[in-house]
Amino acid sequence: MLYSGSCHCGKLIASFETRKTPQELGVRTCQCDFCRRHGAVNISDPYGAVVIDAAERDAHRYRFALRTADFLICKECGVYIAAVIGAGEAIRSTINVAGLRMKEFLGIEEQPMRYGAEDAAARVDRRHEKWTPTRFTDPTLAKSFFGPHP
C-alpha cells in the first residue's frame, strides 16, 4: 500500500510504501521532549520505502541532544514531518504521521517509546535497523542534510 501526506502548508510531501496494514505496522510515540512538544506519532518499516518530495529551500534541519539525526521541519508552517539519518544511498527515516496527517495511521493505539538510555552508537544502530529506506526528490536536499554529523 502507498500512503501519502504533507505538512500544513503542503510544501513538504512524504509518501510511505509498505506491505503491512497500519494495524500490523503500529504507531509509536517517542516520549522525548521534542516529539511530545510536536505531538509526533511515528511509523517506519525497514522493508518499506519513503519518498520525501520537498525543495531544499523549504526544509529546515534541526539537530539536538546526541545530534545523530536531522529532524525535518517546514520553514513555512513549522510542522515536523520526519527524522532522517544516513547519507547517499543509505538514507533512512521515520515519519511523523500526525504532522503529515496520514489519516490511515491516526486513531491506532499508540505505543509509547523511551530511548533516553541509549548512547549514540546504540541509537544509530537501532535507526539503521528499524527506520525506512528513504529517497529525496531534490538531490541537493539529501546532500546538504546528510553530510557528516558534527
Residues that bind Zn ion (CB under 5 A): 7, 9, 11, 74, 76-77
What is d(CA 90, CA 7) in angstroms, rounded to the nearest whole number? 24
Residue nearest to Zn ion (CB): 74
Residue closer to Zn ion, measured from CB, 25 or 84: 84
What is d(CA 85, CA 57) in angstroms, rounded to the nearest whole number? 19
What is d(CA 23, CA 109) in angstroms, rounded to the nearest whole number? 9
Q: Could you write out the DSSP letters of every residue in 26-50?
A: -EEEE-SHHHHHHT--EE--TTSEE
Nearest approach in angstroms of CB 54 to Zn ion is 9
Residue closer to Zn ion, measured from CB, 41 or 59: 59
Nearest approach in angstroms of CB 12 to Zn ion is 6
Nearest approach in angstroms of CB 11 to Zn ion is 5
What is d(CA 108, CA 8) in angstroms, rounded to the nearest whole number? 21
Nearest approach in angstroms of CB 22 to Zn ion is 23
Residues 6+ apart with CB under 8 A from 69: 63, 83, 84, 85, 127
Residue closer to Zn ion, measured from CB, 23 or 137: 137
Residue closer to Zn ion, measured from CB, 18 or 96: 96
